[in-house]
A and B are shown apart, each in its own frame.
Chain A
């Protein structure tokens, strides 16, 4: 038995060495393959990237040509953009405008003949108008207050009229008053469609 073991030991070592050598060869081939694959991957991606860079440069040149052509129309472009700005502005201005002539005519339409409006204050985007004046009698003043909210007269604009103060001027024999009249919501505005009407 001892002799038999000594005889079988030599082929096993050779076989192990062969296996090792085969593994090393496979590892070497594997590393070379890995290296080649990584080199190809890098090279391929680099080449693709270079092609894309060239394409982008070409496109940028095309864009520059278009920009040059646009620059030749700079004068007409300025006018077109200016027109667009002005048209948009016109809409905004007219839509937000307060027509103070409405306040003047509504107040005048409410004024009894023997009452004098000595002053009026109206401000953009404020919902009140201050009216001051003088009259001979309180009856006329009461009529003025009523007229201001009468739909056929000042009521086209005013929704409320409050007598803030009234003083008797004994030297002139007149009653001097201050009225605060409340304006309807958007009462001083005119819609753009109405604006077109003559």
Chain B
């Protein structure tokens, strides 16, 4: 009987108490983590509540920034915008087509490329390039090549330009309750960017 009690006691300690103690420690860690998580969720809730009170301003700023770096659904509008810019500078588009899409390095940003070709005068080409650089929809030039031909009959110079244009878009955000909100409408970098966009022309 005493030997049996010792055996049972040892079994209780080895198979019961020690593993349960390990579980207790894990539970204590989990509880501490969960408390931190709840605090973070409460903080996020507070921020979202603040943002919902400023929804008019958020809508307004989103519309402005969405013009510069479009959402995925607005990628096709790029063709219309490039046509408008060209039209404003009176350049005649001879080629305008999408030519691929890549992930930009770093951040949640995707690049979309356009093959562009046009005929114009040199002044019109300069106007076009300047207008692209000042357009509210951010469009970069990856390459530009032009050649000029002078008509022997009329003596008029025609510039044939070929360019690869890059525009950008951001995919829809992935919502995860555990992702904190670090953005602020009063963030100096954001305010500076909003200021920058005021100088760009909307097409």
Q: Report if A and B associate in a common complex.
A: yes
> Which of A70, A82, A85 is close to B48, meaning CB atoms less than 8 Å apart?
A70
Contact with B along A149-185 (1 / 0, CB 8 A): 0000000000000000000000000000000000000
Question: Would A35 and B140 be within 8 Å (CB), given that A41-B13, A83-B58 are in contact?
Answer: no
| Chain B residues whose C-beta falls within 8 Å of the C-beta of A98 in the assembled complex | 140-141
| Chain A residues whose C-beta falls within 8 Å of the C-beta of B58 in the assembled complex | 76, 79-80, 83
B100 contacts A by Cβ under 8 Å: no
Within 8 A of B (CB), among A83-136: 83-94, 97-101, 104-105, 108, 116-124
> Which of A52, A86, A108 is close to B28, meaning CB atoms less than 8 Å apart?
A52
Question: Would A34 and B126 be within 8 Å (CB), given that A55-B31, A192-B192, A196-B195 are in contact?
Answer: no
A195 contacts B by Cβ under 8 Å: yes
Minimum Cβ distance to chain B for residue A138 (Å): 21
Instruction: Tell me, in angstroms, the Cα distance from A195 to B198 when the chains sit together.
Output: 11
B101 contacts A by Cβ under 8 Å: no
Asked if A119 and B21 make an inter-chain contact with CB atoms under 8 angstroms apart, the answer reads: no
| Chain B residues whose C-beta falls within 8 Å of the C-beta of A59 in the assembled complex | 31, 34-35, 38
Question: Would A56 and B30 be within 8 Å (CB), given that A35-B5, A38-B13 are in contact?
Answer: yes
B173 contacts A by Cβ under 8 Å: yes
5 nearest A-B residue pairs (beta carbon): A81-B173, A38-B9, A66-B41, A31-B2, A84-B183
Interface CB pairs A-B, < 8 A, 14? A41-B13, A63-B37, A66-B41, A83-B61, A83-B65, A85-B69, A89-B170, A93-B140, A94-B138, A98-B140, A98-B141, A116-B157, A123-B143, A192-B196
